Amino acid sequence: MMDTNPRLTLDPVQMTALGDDAVRAVVDHYISLPDRPIGATSTATELGDILHEPLPAQGDDPHKVLDVVRERVLSQIVAQDHPRYFATVPSASNFVAVVADTLASGFNVFAGNWAEGSGPAAVELAALRWLREMCGLPEGGGLFTTGGSMANLTALATARYNRLGDRGLARGTLYVTEQSHSCFIRSARILGMEPEQLRMVPTREDLTMDVAALREMLRADRAEGWRPFCVVANVGTTRTAAVDPLPELARVCREEEIWLHGDGAFGAAAAIIPEGRRALSGIEELDSLSIDPHKWWFQPFEIGGLLVKDARTLRDTYRVVPDYLADLDADENEINFYDHGIQLTRSFRALKLWMSLKTFGADSFRAAVDGAFRRAERLAGRIVAEPGWRVETGPQLATLTFRYTGGSPGGEGGTEALNEVNRAIADHTMASNRIGLHTTAVHGRTVLRICMINPRTTAQDEDALLDVLREAVRAVVPAERQGA
């Protein structure tokens, strides 16, 4: 039997009722988060009814479908907007941005060119200008992307074209550190680079790029016929929030005529407050900067951004006008964003950041970022006061790493033994489902890492973190070693 609703529509009453139910589910999510576990993950076997469900030939009541989504799909996630989720880089989100995403999706906005989306293009240009202002950057260009990885790939492709031109990547070299995000390895592969064209610059004790070592690598590479085209500066690493020496790197790159890209996917948002701006000194000298508003500027997934000093570099790299788009070509004041990046079909990501800033104001964002700094400082002091614990790095950009040493600053029992203890503590903490926390490595030592950027995190949530850590120590460390 053929579908009786070939137009794929619901009537207005059905649409309103379904929309009301969906919005109510989102509101319930926000309200109940503090009292709920961090999340849940099922095995492939447990989700077999979804994984192996046959293609439905006939439709069902949309409210029943929504119930399945709530009960079987959205119940099986780790809530990165939970106030006690401190792992990775949390995505706190906000309801106004959720509404904006609903509007952008509901109106099926194509945000690729001016002719078919002049209002959305104007909003994107305004939001990008606000981003530059909040980061302390001069006038320039940019665009919104899916996230930091796509922003970084777009930046590297732009740097390659603008420094190497049509000659391509032959003998071109890219410079990162082992602290850089893994997306740069992936980006180098996508660009067609050979492994030897990706250079790992040594880091100093503070895990920032060794500028003297970079200078020597550039000198040696040029002598061997390599063509350095881009240096990636970390503007807040994922591991420890380390910030590379931006003024020194800018000086080197100017002298060497190399593109300087800053990976600020996480850390650049801190520039909105004076303390963060000081930590990111030199950010205004970058040729390009990636930033992820779905991290520290409280937007739901997905929204990343790329800001460039010279807007022409994007257009020079990406603009292609096939005959089927010739009628839609625009002048420089009426930007076609598909001329400035990889995607032709683009969703209206800018709307959620624009509506959030219009609704709450930049001062609210500043207060939220400043609050994250203060929470991290307070928590670092509380961790140091706990028997057997030591802070390893930070707090920097609201991020710190710490480690259980059994009270021995020298790490009695051997590094690997203590690494195993800290991994076990992290496993126990995550298994509690009350705290989201992961490990990382600092100078070969396994450490616990927390990122305190969710503005809905309270002092009670910090208390819960410490309670769970104490429970984990009691569970995995012999009594005679606890706090020794």
Indicate if the pLDDT at residue 129 is higher than 80.
Answer: yes
- Identical fold at 100-362 and 365-481? no
CA–CA distance, 246 with 377 (Å, rounded to integer): 24
Q: Side chain identity at 422, as an amino acid letter?
A: N
Q: Give one DSSP letter per residue of 290-313, joined into a string.
A: EE-TTTTT---S--EEEEES-HHH
3 state DSSP class of 263:
strand
Topology of the domain covering 365-481: Aspartate Aminotransferase, domain 1 (3.90.1150)
- For Cα atoms 189, 193, 195, give the angle at the middle one, nearest 5 degrees: 85
- Looking at residue 445, what DSSP letter applies? E
In the chain, where the domains are located: 12-38+42-76, 100-362, 365-481
User: Which pLDDT belongs to residue 407?
Assistant: 52
Topology of the domain covering 100-362: Aspartate Aminotransferase; domain 2 (3.40.640)
182-210 pLDDT, tens digit per residue, is 999 999 999 999 999 999 999 999 999 99
> 34, exposed or middle or buried, with CB in 10 Å at 0-12, 13-18, 19+?
middle
Categorize the per-residue pLDDT at 169 as very low, low, confident or very high, splitting at 50, 70 and 90: confident
309-362 pLDDT, tens digit per residue, is 999 999 999 999 888 888 888 777 789 999 999 999 999 999 999 999 999 999
pTM over 0.85: yes
User: Which pLDDT belongs to residue 483?
Assistant: 63
Q: State phi, psi for 322 to the nearest 5 degrees.
A: -70, 165
Interacting residues of 424 by C-beta distance below 8 A, sequence separation 6+: 472, 476
Indicate if the pLDDT at residue 444 is higher than 60.
Answer: yes
User: Which pLDDT belongs to residue 377?
Assistant: 97
Closest-CA residue to 376 (of 278, 440, 264, 455): 455
CA–CA distance, 287 with 309 (Å, rounded to integer): 5
Percent of the chain with pLDDT over 70: 96
Give the C-alpha distances (Å, rounded to integers) separating 329 from 26, 115, 342. Answer: 40, 8, 17
User: Which pLDDT belongs to residue 3?
Assistant: 58
Stretch 429-442: mean pLDDT: 95
Q: Which residues of 367-405 are buried (b: 16+ CB within 10 A; e: fewer)?
A: ebbbbbbebbeebbeebeeeebbbbbbbbbbbbbbbbbb
388-405 pLDDT, tens digit per residue, is 999 999 999 999 999 999
Tokens of 206: 């503070």
CA–CA distance, 256 with 254 (Å, rounded to integer): 5
Stretch 420-433: mean pLDDT: 95
Categorize the per-residue pLDDT at 12 as very low, low, confident or very high, splitting at 50, 70 and 90: very high
Tokens of 287: 């040729």
Indicate if the pLDDT at residue 412 is higher than 60.
Answer: no
3 state DSSP class of 200:
strand
Q: Give one DSSP letter per residue of 60-123, joined into a string.
A: --HHHHHHHIIIIITTSSB-TTSTTB-SSS-----HHHHHHHHHHHHTT---S-STT-HHHHHH
User: Which pLDDT belongs to residue 479?
Assistant: 72
3 state DSSP class of 326:
helix
Indicate if the pLDDT at residue 5 is higher than 80.
Answer: no
Closest-CA residue to 389 (of 373, 374, 419, 409): 409
Stretch 76-101: mean pLDDT: 96
Q: Looking up tokens 């067609």, which residue turns up? A: 192
* CA atoms lying within 13 Å on the CB side of residue 147: 11
CA–CA distance, 153 with 186 (Å, rounded to integer): 9
Interacting residues of 15 by C-beta distance below 8 A, sequence separation 6+: none
Q: Looking up tokens 């690494």, which residue turns up? A: 419
> 433, exposed or middle or buried, with CB in 10 Å at 0-12, 13-18, 19+?
middle
Indicate if the pLDDT at residue 446 is higher than 80.
Answer: yes
Q: Give the alpha-carbon dihedral of 377, 448, 233, 130, to 10 degrees.
A: -50
* Secondary-structure percent of the chain, ordered helix, strand, coil, rounded to 5: 50, 15, 40
